[in-house]
Structure 1
Amino acid sequence: MTAAAVVLAALGAWTDYPELVTLGLAAAATLLLAAAWLVASPKLTVVREVRPRRVFEGGSAQGTLTVTNVGKRDSPPLLVTETVGGHRTTVTVPALTAGHSCTVSYPLPVARRGRYVIPPVELGHSDPLRLLHRDRAAGGELVVHVYPRVHILASITSGGPQDAEGQTTSSAPLGGVAFHSLREYEPGDDWRHIHWGATARTGTVMTRHVVVPDEPRQLVVLDTGSAPYPSPQFFEEAVRVAASFCVAAERSGLPLQLRTTGGAQRESSGAALEFLCTAESSGADRGLAALADLLRDVVSGTQGVALTVVTGRVDTEAAQLLMSLRPRLLSVSLAQLVSPDNTLPARPRGVLTVAARGSEQFASNWNRLVLR
């Protein structure tokens, strides 16, 4: 349109043809009016929500946008564009009269695991003749976590049942019901735990130190080296298996720690799943060759640990290492995500080993073996 206005005006002036000049000026005036329309855009408020903010692979998330016209004139129809992970979703908001609002909902493309930073939405509107278009950002950034797909896994009850009156240590987490010792009262302690007899004898307010008794700690180690996996898809399946073990530990009420051969460490199921959203394999990662250093504090500790290693194909050296660790741990389990070729996966002696092509098949094989 701009080019046409310039060409018409110039051609009319060069050929001394006033009708062309008039057409060029009319086109220019139309563009100016369109620009003025966009500059005097209606006053809008935008409220955006994304629910849920944490979703598992295969689930769905939905965006909800409420646009309110707080100005004195009607607003034209709007095009709202949401960008998630490079994918653009566009929805239409109808024209709004002054003081009215409209709420639109739309699905978000969150099929793959990851941490998605969603930028502000783009509100776009045009002049009545659709000559010019203007976009403006509205709302703030939002973050959506897509957790790995999780399968139900049976837990191995190594270490015996959880006992409220079991063995305790001073480093055990607070909030349990097992008595460990007496100590001086500290601000914030529950008054119901004050030991009045000891307080009377010592002249100092003493309280019962109650903790969660020692329980078999579930340690899940994910191999983040790229060498054991035939393709990136096998690493994706390994991440899903590691996530499934983390959720199984939480469901059983057992203390959990997730570690990777790359050095990452998380202490709870929620933190583990959030980390696994963005876990990647690396050729620079030593893989299970780093396992001895990774578990040095575990095998020298006093608390019982049930170790689960999630990896691809295991070589002879790694298999020997797992067998050497077995006497110092409550149990050692090995999850292998391997391709269906003629080479049998390693099965270290004394180590519960389950191999599969994918996480779903692994869950079926694992549950069949553990629950039989």
Structure 2
Amino acid sequence: MLTRTGAAMACTAVGLVALGGWADYPELVVLGLGAAATLLVASAWLFVSPRLTVVREVQPHRVFEGNTARGTLTVTNIGRRRSPGLLVTETVAGHRTTVPVPALAAGGSCTAGYPLPITRRGRYLIPAVEVGHSDPLRLLHRGHARGGELVVHVYPRVHPLAMITAGGPHDAEGPTVNSAPLGGVAFHSLREYVPGDDWRHIHWGATARTGTVMARHVVVPDEPRQLVVFDTSSASYPGTLFEDAVRVTASFCVAAEKAGLPFELRTTGARQPGPSALEFLSTVDGDRTGVGLAGLSDLVRDVVADSQGVALTVVTGQVGDEAAQLLMSLRSRFLSVSLAQLVTADPGTRPRGVLAVAAPGSEQFAADWNRLVLR
């Protein structure tokens, strides 16, 4: 491929030959042919590619907004002759980063590190790097793709949030249910021994009375669950407040995880989170056709508060009278209901019996929330 210098050289060669022929000026023709010959020599220089191995690593593959991810390239010359200086080009989200690699002797290697230009949340598909070299005059450039594709997730920025622990009991011997997962320490009931059960769970008294080997059925206690509902309707957020709402939602999820509380994330849009809430939030977009909080009743219909102990947190923008009435009607189904609003003006109606905090940004919301919860 011609570089800018090579393109100028090619145009000069054509122009000199044409001008020399038109003006019957052989010296110009000779100069033009000399320029063309230089391009041919540069082509011959690039005909033989150096034998190289390129190892690329990106750390970390998952990073929060505001933090940096770095790429590392290790280039090794496995050929028998010295390799020329190289230019390794990394393309991320349309941004090209060029890393120079010096000439390498046979068997020599070089490692270079560089920051990746990923500052906004998202899922970045990083294609294979391009390893290229040029002739000594930089007239031509030849590149080859090396390595495979990599994926880097940039999670939303999170702020430390205090959790409301009114969502139910949180101790080793809390209430249990039949559907609770095995492997905990809370006693739920007695049942017949099943091959593979821990023999230490055998209840010898019950075994002697019934004549059947009985074992203690121990499960994980019914811990309080946190249900976070994120309103993804674009109409709920003016300006750039949708990004702040994403950060607040991520902050609630991370706070629940750090507190050891089971949590679930749901959205008012058609697209629902998968196993990883943060990976979902790294790519979620505002839903222009979403119904917003109008569909909240259907979204939480399967949640039964009195048997599961669920605390509901709703992240949204402006809340009208209709949505406020809906939140108040749902209050009896949950042990607590919290409302996080990202607004630039008066938040409007505040639902009774609901812990509501409104702020014009995620950082201010975190400060106001912690001040209210921790007081």
Instruction: Establish whether TM, by shorter chain, passes 0.5.
Output: yes
1:173 is aligned to 181
The match for 1:82 among 80, 90, 103 is 90
1:366 is aligned to 369
Pair 260,159 (structure 1): closer, same or farther in 2 beyond 3 Å: closer
Which string of whole-angstrom CA distances, capped at 9 and with x for unpartnered residues, describes residues 259-303 of structure 1? Answer: 0001444476xx111100011111101110110110110147731
Which string of whole-angstrom CA distances, capped at 9 and with x for unpartnered residues, describes residues 139-194 of structure 1? Answer: 111111111010111111114441212211122233321133435536xx564555
Q: Which amino acid aligns with 1:230?
A: P
Pair 36,183 (structure 1): closer, same or farther in 2 beyond 3 Å: farther
Pair 27,119 (structure 1): closer, same or farther in 2 beyond 3 Å: same
Per-residue deviation, 1:235: 0.7
Pair 258,15 (structure 1): closer, same or farther in 2 beyond 3 Å: same
The match for 1:250 among 250, 257, 260 is 257
User: SS in structure 1 opposite 2:115?
Assistant: strand
Q: How many residues matched?
A: 365
Q: Which amino acid aligns with 2:292?
A: G
CA distance in 2, matches of 1:39, 1:200: 87
1:185 is aligned to 194
Identify which range, 155-164 or 93-102, moves more after superposition: 155-164
Conservation of the 8 A alpha-carbon contact between 1:166 and 1:213: yes
CA distance in 2, matches of 1:200, 1:29: 101
2:137 is aligned to 129
1:32 is aligned to 40
1:351 paired to 2:354: yes
1:275 paired to 2:275: no
CA distance in 1, matches of 2:339, 2:187: 36
CA distance in 2, matches of 1:136, 1:51: 24
Conservation of the 8 A alpha-carbon contact between 1:180 and 1:211: yes
1:259 paired to 2:266: yes
Which string of whole-angstrom CA distances, capped at 9 and with x for unpartnered residues, describes residues 88-141 of structure 1? Answer: 222211111111000000111121111111111122210112111112211111
Superposition RMSD in Å? 2.5
1:214 is aligned to 222
Conservation of the 8 A alpha-carbon contact between 1:257 and 1:267: no
Conservation of the 8 A alpha-carbon contact between 2:167 and 2:226: no
CA distance in 2, matches of 1:317, 1:131: 69
Q: Which amino acid aligns with 1:286?
A: V
Gaps spanning 5+ residues in structure 2: where?
Answer: 1-8
Q: Which amino acid aligns with 2:194?
A: Y
Q: Which amino acid aligns with 2:108?
A: H
CA distance in 2, matches of 1:287, 1:39: 61
2:70 is aligned to 62
CA distance in 1, matches of 2:187, 2:270: 35
Which string of whole-angstrom CA distances, capped at 9 and with x for unpartnered residues, describes residues 224-274 of structure 1? Answer: 00111112x101001100000001101111111000001444476xx1111
Q: Which amino acid aligns with 1:185?
A: V
User: SS in structure 2 opposite 1:298?
Assistant: coil
CA distance in 2, matches of 1:122, 1:205: 67
Identity of aligned residues (%): 71
User: SS in structure 1 opposite 2:337?
Assistant: strand
1:113 is aligned to 121
Conservation of the 8 A alpha-carbon contact between 1:113 and 1:278: yes
Per-residue deviation, 1:85: 1.6
The match for 1:338 among 335, 338, 343 is 343
1:305 paired to 2:310: yes
2:5 is aligned to none
CA distance in 2, matches of 1:294, 1:160: 21
The match for 1:234 among 233, 241, 249 is 241
1:317 is aligned to 322
2:6 is aligned to none
Identify which range, 103-112 or 31-40, moves more after superposition: 31-40
TM-score (norm 1): 0.90
2:112 is aligned to 104
Conservation of the 8 A alpha-carbon contact between 2:203 and 2:214: yes
1:140 paired to 2:148: yes
For 1:37-48, what aligned pairs fall within 5 Å after superposition? 37-48=45-56
CA distance in 1, matches of 2:70, 2:213: 54
Q: Which amino acid aligns with 1:111?
A: T
TM-score (norm 2): 0.89
Pair 201,77 (structure 1): closer, same or farther in 2 beyond 3 Å: farther
Gaps spanning 5+ residues in structure 1: where?
Answer: none
Conservation of the 8 A alpha-carbon contact between 1:50 and 1:62: yes
CA distance in 1, matches of 2:274, 2:90: 34
